[in-house]
Structure 1
């Protein structure tokens, strides 16, 4: 039986072939298109426009006009709140449609996007609700005169201007929200570039924003691959801030490109997140299922914060591996619209070859392959499927323990005591997330404070809209979520005002 998603493509009526500029859908000037192939079937799903430099100019100019006019940036707080909350309500109302579009984009199963918060439409709606609540509370300070005298010293937060928001393909709902919600709540205007591997979902969300009453020019969308679209956007002189989630290589390029105009930059650049499993974990089997599930279910390990290193105390090492194998064996693949399917393929053939290359490297460097390691064949042969893969006895110096693989590959590293566990966990260039499994509350808290990572889960892991998310070290710059996120889309202005006719 040949796997196909074409019937779903026909029933959804994809928005294709156009950019969204200044409130209008329009073709790219040069007429170039990108053909999207479904990662589970290899089928051509649809085409969308590839923006050129002139299209990016048009998008940025529309965003600049909208910002300078004050239609959004100087609008009443109640106006911005109402639009953001209407959009959140529309997201919830179109939940099934949006999740189906995502399944056509990146093949994340409906079973996963409907049950796991971080990949759900509901999470995106909550992010917009949360930031809508900050619109009328984003204030400055009134300070007493430091040198005495009769004057006021005040600070104000003002929107930073035109924002270039560049999304990855793996979590279009949440990452659309994490970038667009705080930018719009702060009063900025946005030029959005979705990944070429998750465009249809974003285009529909943009249609819903227009329905919610967002003024023309406040949100513009340019589609296509990083070259040429992303490059034209990050180097544009009239962009005030770039917010990007993706690879370190692109992140470094954005930092270089920002130097000429001193653009503000927020970057989330991935991780090699450890899970520290102590012998006194409440349930070693649950810990193993949690870690393996994050690496194999849903996104098939293509998640920046997944715990792809399991540091396991030797006393429970064998128990952990046994439970981990059982969890890996339970993962199912196939049609993302099938409720029995719980994981997806790798996003494209290039990533498939990359992950298989890392698996071979793991074998060559002496790690013990416990399960998996091969491409799935049979009726899945046309897709980019790799079996859940677990390596044991992995030195922390091994390539598969140090580099972000972005696939269903778990490296299990043994440790003896707490000091060694912390040292191994921190011995990485990354610092995005971590998890600690221990029934000893003091130990769990003590270890969490010592880990050099941006988000730590104790006996589990969860994304929350009101908590900052981001990384230490080479995992990025800045935070998304919570008050720190919306403040990152503002400039801080100081104003001094005399209360008499005398000079200060």
Structure 2
């Protein structure tokens, strides 16, 4: 039977895709809308408002007033902590509803979203709880006078101001929390722009944060594509900081736009992360399952930190490939509301064509196609489904090994020794993540120190809400999570105060 989302649309009952500006929900001033089509079926899901430059101006002005003219930035710690905890509690309370809305947005299966912490509502709630713990610890230092004398030398951390937070479509729960929670914890105000391919999940989360008691103007939402909505937001002179997760091309544009005003910028721009599997890995089959799972399950490889390169010791190469191929054959697609479904389609037709183009290029460049490589037909022909794809004997300098494909494609590269593995792992423009599989604890730690990546996981993979996340090289600027988030959303101020009649 041909896949359809009609009954789920009726059951979930999506609300209109409106803007949220200065505590009010409404459409764009010019009435412009954009129609979202479901990636698994091509069916129309709903229309959302496209914020014009004028709408963005209104949202930024509301955030500016809330920061400059209200008491928000000066809230006492006790009050702010209680607000962030209410936000986390409401997200947990509405987890089932949020997963259902997300399934209509980006088609991440509800079962996967419930069972995998990194893409769950639970991780978002934990991020809010974690940042609640920072509110009463936003301290500076009192330093001894360097030149002597009777005065105080002090530092303070103060909120940076109005934040433009721009989200991708693939992980709305985690990424909204990673940007909004530290902003609220430090006393900033926010203009949030979700991807047009995952708007309704973000709007429902914002409704919950509103009901938790976030004041008018502190959190605003403008929806729509990069042009005109995103472009106006990143070039707005009253924005003090831009926090963006997405493509390297857009990240480069943001850096360019911020240069004239010195707007603060945090960027997470993707990766080509290696999984390095040594011959002494405790379980090569588990290493293969972990690696191919990250590329095929849930988001179907549409995750910035996924290990899309497997660097495998030659002596266990065939064992790894056999296990990975077996796992790939077990991946199930279809209705994201079906508990048995494990993976999503690609987000849109443009991404489908892009991934299929990379597969064709991999074959043309001489890599060996082990499995997959085709678009799924039959009942799935209306969606953007690509079969789990594994290429073997990949040259580490080839397109497959160097460029971020953002789809269910794994490039497997053989190596002979540790130094060669390090060289291959670092031979990339990116540096977001990496994994190392070995039973030798000293080797895993050596590799962790030698690989140039923001996060290196040893014999597994995990996301934690209190750890910094971000990348080296062209994977971005700055970090999100933990103390790093607090520092990214504050400015450091030095204050000097004489205690007597000395001249400073």
- 1:72 touches 1:80 (CA, 8 Å); kept in 2? no
Output the CA distance in 2 between the equivalents of 1:222 and 1:67: 18
Shift of 1:379: 0.1
CA deviations over 1:276-307 (Å, ceiling 9, x no partner): 00000010000000000000000000000000
What do you get for the CA RMSD once the two structures are aligned?
0.6
Q: Secondary structure at the match of 2:340?
A: coil
Could you say which residue in structure 2 is the equivalent of 1:321?
321
> What does 1:306-385 correspond to in 2, within 5 Å?
306-385=306-385
Shift of 1:84: 0.7
Output the CA distance in 1 between the equivalents of 2:174 and 2:419: 36
Could you say which residue in structure 1 is the equivalent of 2:406?
406
Output the CA distance in 2 between the equivalents of 1:59 and 1:40: 33
Pairing 1:274–2:274 present: yes
Shift of 1:5: 1.3
Could you say which residue in structure 1 is the equivalent of 2:177?
177
CA deviations over 1:86-136 (Å, ceiling 9, x no partner): 010000000000000000000000111000001000000000000010011
Output the CA distance in 2 between the equivalents of 1:469 and 1:305: 10
Output the CA distance in 2 between the equivalents of 1:454 and 1:238: 31
CA deviations over 1:232-266 (Å, ceiling 9, x no partner): 00000000000000000000000000011100000
- 2:66 touches 2:189 (CA, 8 Å); kept in 1? yes
Could you say which residue in structure 2 is the equivalent of 1:103?
103
Q: Secondary structure at the match of 2:474?
A: helix
Output the CA distance in 1 between the equivalents of 2:244 and 2:343: 26
Output the CA distance in 2 between the equivalents of 1:17 and 1:266: 27
Q: Secondary structure at the match of 1:323?
A: helix
- 1:395 touches 1:401 (CA, 8 Å); kept in 2? yes
- 1:15 touches 1:203 (CA, 8 Å); kept in 2? no
Could you say which residue in structure 2 is the equivalent of 1:469?
469
Q: Secondary structure at the match of 1:78?
A: helix
> What does 1:13-92 correspond to in 2, within 5 Å?
13-92=13-92
Q: Secondary structure at the match of 2:386?
A: coil
Shift of 1:501: 2.7
Could you say which residue in structure 2 is the equivalent of 1:423?
423
Shift of 1:11: 1.9
Q: Secondary structure at the match of 1:414?
A: strand
The 4+ residue runs of structure 1 with deviation greater than 6 A are none
Output the CA distance in 2 between the equivalents of 1:272 and 1:385: 22
Shift of 1:15: 2.2
Pairing 1:8–2:8 present: yes
> What does 1:178-193 correspond to in 2, within 5 Å?
178-193=178-193
Output the CA distance in 2 between the equivalents of 1:83 and 1:71: 15
Could you say which residue in structure 1 is the equivalent of 2:249?
249
Q: Secondary structure at the match of 1:486?
A: helix
Output the CA distance in 2 between the equivalents of 1:6 and 1:109: 16
Could you say which residue in structure 1 is the equivalent of 2:206?
206
Q: Secondary structure at the match of 1:73?
A: helix
How many positions carry a matched residue from both structures? 504
Shift of 1:2: 1.5
CA deviations over 1:448-496 (Å, ceiling 9, x no partner): 1000000000000111001000000000000000101111100000000
CA deviations over 1:316-374 (Å, ceiling 9, x no partner): 00000000000000000000000110000000000000000000000000000000000
Shift of 1:502: 2.9
CA deviations over 1:412-446 (Å, ceiling 9, x no partner): 00000000000000000000000000000000001
Output the CA distance in 1 between the equivalents of 2:364 and 2:151: 71
Could you say which residue in structure 1 is the equivalent of 2:495?
495
Output the CA distance in 2 between the equivalents of 1:486 and 1:124: 17
- 1:71 touches 1:215 (CA, 8 Å); kept in 2? no
Which residues of structure 2 form unaligned runs of 5+? none
Shift of 1:145: 0.4
Shift of 1:70: 3.9
Pairing 1:128–2:128 present: yes
Could you say which residue in structure 2 is the equivalent of 1:305?
305
Output the CA distance in 2 between the equivalents of 1:80 and 1:231: 32
> What does 1:227-266 correspond to in 2, within 5 Å?
227-266=227-266
> What does 1:439-454 correspond to in 2, within 5 Å?
439-454=439-454
Q: Secondary structure at the match of 1:495?
A: strand
Which residues of structure 1 form unaligned runs of 5+? none
Q: Secondary structure at the match of 2:73?
A: coil
Output the CA distance in 2 between the equivalents of 1:89 and 1:322: 44
Q: Secondary structure at the match of 2:275?
A: strand
Output the CA distance in 2 between the equivalents of 1:303 and 1:448: 21
- 2:149 touches 2:502 (CA, 8 Å); kept in 1? no
TM (norm. structure 1) is 0.99
CA deviations over 1:138-179 (Å, ceiling 9, x no partner): 100000000000000000000000000000000000000011
TM (norm. structure 2) is 0.99
Shift of 1:80: 1.1
Output the CA distance in 1 between the equivalents of 2:123 and 2:406: 22
Shift of 1:71: 2.4
Output the CA distance in 2 between the equivalents of 1:247 and 1:458: 27
Pairing 1:390–2:390 present: yes
